[in-house]
Structure 1
C-alpha cells in the first residue's frame, strides 16, 4: 500500500469516527474518485474496521481483536526497526515497565545483554528474558488474556501499585492525539494507565498503522509529554497532531 493510500485510509477512519459518512462526501473531501473511496472502504471492511452501508460506511461496533501471533506477522520489519530505535532511549541500570504487545515483544528481545530491572505483564517475553544474567525480572500476576499473552486484572494492578519505574514501554491498538491509547478492554487500559502513572517517562512504540486509529472503546490517557517511536510510513498529519499533543517523535527507517 502506498503512503498516500495509507494516509487516506487513516483519515477515512477519523472521518468515520464522527458517524456515518457518504461515499460522495468522502470523495469530495479527499479529492479522489468515488470508486477510490469504495476500494478504501472495501479494504477497511475486509479488516473488520468498518461496516459498509448503502452509499457509505460506519465504524464497526465491535472490532475483531487479532491474536498476538497474527500481530507479529503484520508490519514485522517496521516493528523491528522501531525496537532498534527505542533501545537507544534506555540506559543500563534503568527500571523498565514493559507492556504487552508485539512491538514491545520485539523490543524486549533486544534486552538480553543489558543490565536492567524489568517489570512486565508480557508473558510472551518470559522465555527470552528469564535466564538473561543482567536482568532482574518481575512478572505481574493476574488473569491471562490469551489473545495478547499478557496478564491483566486486579492482581496485576495491586502488584504494580507497589513499584515505580524509570520508563514505561507501551503499546496500543491505536494512538490518537489528545485521547491517548485505545484497547479492546477496560482491564487492559486500567493497567496501562497505572503503568503510565508509575513511570517517570513514557515511551510508546507504534507502527504507522496504529496512528489515529480509534477502533476500540477503552482508553488510557497519556501524560502531557511523552515519547513516540514510529516508522517512516507515519502520515505527516498524524506526526503533526501527535507532536502538538506532547509527543517527542523518533521515526525509524528500514
Structure 2
C-alpha cells in the first residue's frame, strides 16, 4: 500500500485504518498519536483504540505518545527518542538535579535522558561539563557560567553524538565528580545493554573516570532488548528512575549498596 492508498482509507473504518497504520510502520520506526489522528481525520481516542488493537495482534508496541514497529532493529532516531517517555525523563532529570551541587564537574553521556538532565541543571552555578552529546553541548554552551568541553570526532547520523576511540581517551583525560549516563536496556540479571560496542566503551570510560556515577533511565529500559553487553547495574553509585525496578533488580541494588532514587514521575 502506498501513500495514496493510505489516504484513501481515511474514514473507511477501523480495520482499513489499522491496516494502513501497520503498512506505515514498515517504513517508520515511530509514529505519534497526533500525526495519525490528523492523517485519518479522526479523534485521538479513536487512534488509541486502533493502536491497542495493533499491539494485541503483535504488530506494534506502544510507546509514550505513539506507536513503534516491532520489527525495527537498533535504536530510534534522536528526534523520535525525544518524544518517548518525555514526562518520565523530565521527572528523572529533576531528581538528578537535586543530587548535583554548584561548582561540581560532570561528564554527561549520549541519549535524550542526559539531555533532560542538562536542562534541569541550567539553574545551577559554575558547573564544569564534559560531553560527547551534541544537542546537550549546544544547550549548556549558552550558559556563560558553565565550563564546557566537547569531544571531537565523527558525528553519528541520526544519533547526534560522537563515539569512537578518540572519545574514550577524551573522557579518560578528565576526573569528574559525577558521571551521568543512560543505557539502551537493562537485562534481568543486571547487565547493562546498548546497541553498539562503541557506546559501551564510551560509557565504561565515563565510569572509570568519575568519583560518583548516576545511571538515569526510565522504566521501559528494564524490558527493552539490546544486544551489546557492558557493565552491570550494581556497579554505579545511584540509579534514577520514575518507577520501581523489577524485584530482582531492586534486591541486587540493595545488596550492593547502590542508591535507588524514584522520581515523582508518572507510574
TM-score w.r.t. length of structure 2? 0.69
Equivalent positions of 1:14-163 (< 5 A) are 39=56, 41-44=58-61, 47-49=68-70, 63-114=73-124, 115-163=126-174
Question: What is the RMSD of the two structures over their aligned residues, measured on CA atoms?
Answer: 2.5
Q: Distance in 1 between matches of 2:171 and 2:255?
A: 27
Using the TM superposition, give the Cα deviation of residue 242 of structure 1 relative to its aligned residue in structure 2, in angstroms.
4.7
Using the TM superposition, give the Cα deviation of residue 44 of structure 1 relative to its aligned residue in structure 2, in angstroms.
4.5
- The residue matched to 2:122 in structure 1 has which SS? coil
Using the TM superposition, give the Cα deviation of residue 183 of structure 1 relative to its aligned residue in structure 2, in angstroms.
1.2
The structure 1 residue matched to 2:200, chosen from 189, 197, 202, is 189
Q: Distance in 2 between matches of 1:225 and 1:172?
A: 12
With over 3 angstroms needed to count, the CA separation of the structure-2 counterparts of 1:224 and 1:119, relative to structure 1, is same
Q: Distance in 1 between matches of 2:170 and 2:117?
A: 23
Aligned to 1:9: none
Using the TM superposition, give the Cα deviation of residue 175 of structure 1 relative to its aligned residue in structure 2, in angstroms.
2.3
Using the TM superposition, give the Cα deviation of residue 201 of structure 1 relative to its aligned residue in structure 2, in angstroms.
1.1
- Contact map agreement 1:177 1:242 (CA 8 A) in 2: no
- Contact map agreement 1:119 1:139 (CA 8 A) in 2: yes
TM-score w.r.t. length of structure 1? 0.72
Higher relative contact order (CA 8 A, sep 6+): 1
Structure 1 unaligned blocks of 5 or more: 1-37, 52-61
- The residue matched to 1:93 in structure 2 has which SS? coil
Structure 2 unaligned blocks of 5 or more: 1-54
Aligned to 2:29: none
Using the TM superposition, give the Cα deviation of residue 236 of structure 1 relative to its aligned residue in structure 2, in angstroms.
4.5
Cα shift readout 1:106-128 (whole Å, capped 9, x = no counterpart): 11112223221101001011221
Aligned to 2:44: none
- The residue matched to 2:183 in structure 1 has which SS? coil
- Contact map agreement 1:142 1:154 (CA 8 A) in 2: no
Q: Distance in 2 between matches of 1:160 and 1:86?
A: 21
